[in-house]
Structure formats: C-alpha cells, structure tokens
Amino acid sequence: MRTARLSRKTNETDITVAVDLDGTGVADIATGVGFFDHMLAQVARHGLIDLTVRAEGDLHIDDHHTVEDVGIAFGQAVRQALGDKRGITRYADTHLAMDEALTRCAIDISGRPYLVFRTAFHTPKIGTFDTQLVEEWFRAFAMNAGVTLHVETLYGANDHHIAESCFKALARTLRAAVAIDPRQADKVPSTKGVLEG
C-alpha cells in the first residue's frame, strides 16, 4: 500500500495529512482557506490520490504559513508513500486547458528537489486568497517531495482559471509519474539504482 500519514506542528500551524497514491480521488480537506481547499481537492480528484488534510494556522495574520506548511506536509507524505520508488514511471508531463488558460507541467521524481514556476497572475488576490501563495505552495511541495517540477502557464486571462490549471496540471502529471510501469517490475527507474539526491 502506497500510503502515508504524518503530522507537522509548529508555533504557526498544526497540520495532519494522509495520502493514498492508489486511491480514487477522495478529498477530505479543511484548512480554513476556502480557495486553497478547492485547489487541493483538484489535486486529489484529478490525481486519483485519496487526500485528507486538517490544518489549523495563524490565519489572523494571513494565509501564508498555512498554505506553505500544507505544501511541506503534503510533499513529505508523497515522498514517504513512494518508498524506494520501485516500479514507478518517474517522468511525466501534461498540458492542461481550463477555458482560456493553458498550463504545462513536467515532473521527474528524482529525489533532487527543484522548481521552475513560470506563471503570472493579473491581480494580487483571488477572492481573499493571495496569488503569490500559489508559487509558495508549489515550492514547498517540490522541495519536500524531492521532485524536479516545472510549471508554466502559456496563457490565460482569469486568475482563478490560471491557478486551477496549475493545480490540475500537477495532479495529472503526478498521477502519471507515480503510476506503476509493469515493464519496470520491481526496478528503481534509474541507472544509479536509487532515486535520492
């Protein structure tokens, strides 16, 4: 079973995350940040990852710590659930269209964390959600999952659509990359024999 459950508690946040990489896309998410919950639900649904998130954070300050720390915890949970990564496809990429917005995403589950994020927003907020936090979440996820991740929005006009296309593109890309390749059998997909930094 490729599952993981972990908790992360700091002076700013208290977070529990559970993932099942071979799930059906069930999302049970409560972070106190409505738009963010909506984005995480997209990752679960379109990634076919069962995802439970419970987060309590210092939202009286702003959403930053909650969003970033959920990214950290989710990344760590994915990394833990992957184990030694035997049999995974490893590489994947997606072009994801959402109305007028088009985002591409590519991933290498390499054990070497890196993020390239080329997405621009037209306004500082989507509702009450700070658009700068989209990149912060992707960075926290990539660094803690140990993946090389490239996300680029090629075009788009509506910031909600732009953000959602990023999360959905990640979902589809992650789904393909963590899938078991029957031709890999029990091999680690690397000439090194390991997928760590």
Q: What is the pLDDT of residue 186?
A: 82
> Under CATH, to which class is 3-178 assigned?
alpha beta
What phi, psi does 65 have (nearest 5°)? -65, -40
Which three-class secondary structure string do you get for 29-71?
Answer: EECCCHHHHHHHHHHHHHHCCEEEEEEEECCCCCCHHHHHHHH
Label residues 20-55 b or e (16+ Cβ within 10 Å = b).
bbebebebebebebebbbbbbbbbbbbbbbbbbbbb
Q: What is the pLDDT of residue 192?
A: 65
List the chain domain ranges.
3-178
CA dihedral 124, 156, 179, 106 (to 10 degrees): -90
- Pairing status of strand 148-155 against strand 114-118: parallel
Q: What is the pLDDT of residue 189?
A: 60
Residues of the chain with pLDDT below 70 are 188-195, 197
Q: What is the pLDDT of residue 188?
A: 67
Q: What is the pLDDT of residue 190?
A: 58
- Whether 41 and 25 have beta carbons less than 8 Å apart is answered as no
Residue identified by tokens 């658009």 is 131
Alpha carbons 74 and 72: distance in angstroms, whole number: 6
In tens, the pLDDT along 50-100 reads: 999 999 999 999 999 999 999 999 999 999 999 989 889 999 999 999 999
Q: What is the pLDDT of residue 24?
A: 98
- Whether 143 and 75 have beta carbons less than 8 Å apart is answered as yes
